[in-house]
């Protein structure tokens, strides 16, 4: 997935504000799942939500205004109730990693209690691993 950096994404020095990478990760996860036929909104409609339980981010080199970044996303682990995604971002035309991160999502019910991942979701993730 590609993301262009706009002025609104940057700090006063023209560098991407660090917290914006979490938004980019969110978009990339959503698109990664959508490409595999998984619509998060469908699960939300039946009371299953996916909440962020843990995030790790390593910032390697700055991304700047007007850069086009490529985000690679994959599911690297899952348990009965959680999914862990790895994200890596690169500037187009540059092999250096800009940022990489890991995000663990937990499936919960409407009350916020952990819930087993839906079986069809596990099958899709296992098939695409």
Q: Which residues are part of the catalytic machinery?
A: 11
C-alpha 65/C-alpha 80 separation (Å) is 40
Torsion angle in degrees (nearest 10) through CA of 62, 68, 74, 79: 60
C-alpha 114/C-alpha 105 separation (Å) is 11
Token digits of residue 32: 């990664």
Residue 123: how many CB atoms within 10 A of its CB?
10
Q: Is the dihedral of CA 72, 63, 18, 97 positive or negative?
A: positive
């Amino acid at each position: 997935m590609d993301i262009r950096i706009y002025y609104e994404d940057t700090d006063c020095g023209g560098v991407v504000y660090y917290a914006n990478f979490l938004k980019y990760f969110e978009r990339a996860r959503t698109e990664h799942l959508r490409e595999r036929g998984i619509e998060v909104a469908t699960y939300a409609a039946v009371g299953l939500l996916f909440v962020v339980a843990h995030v790790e981010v390593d910032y390697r080199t700055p991304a700047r205004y007007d850069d086009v970044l490529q985000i690679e996303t994959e599911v690297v682990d899952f348990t009965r109730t959680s999914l862990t995604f790895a994200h890596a971002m690169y500037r187009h035309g540059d092999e250096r990693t800009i940022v990489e991160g890991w995000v663990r999502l937990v499936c919960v019910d409407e009350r916020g209690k952990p819930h087993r991942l839906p079986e069809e979701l596990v099958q899709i993730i296992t098939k695409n691993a």
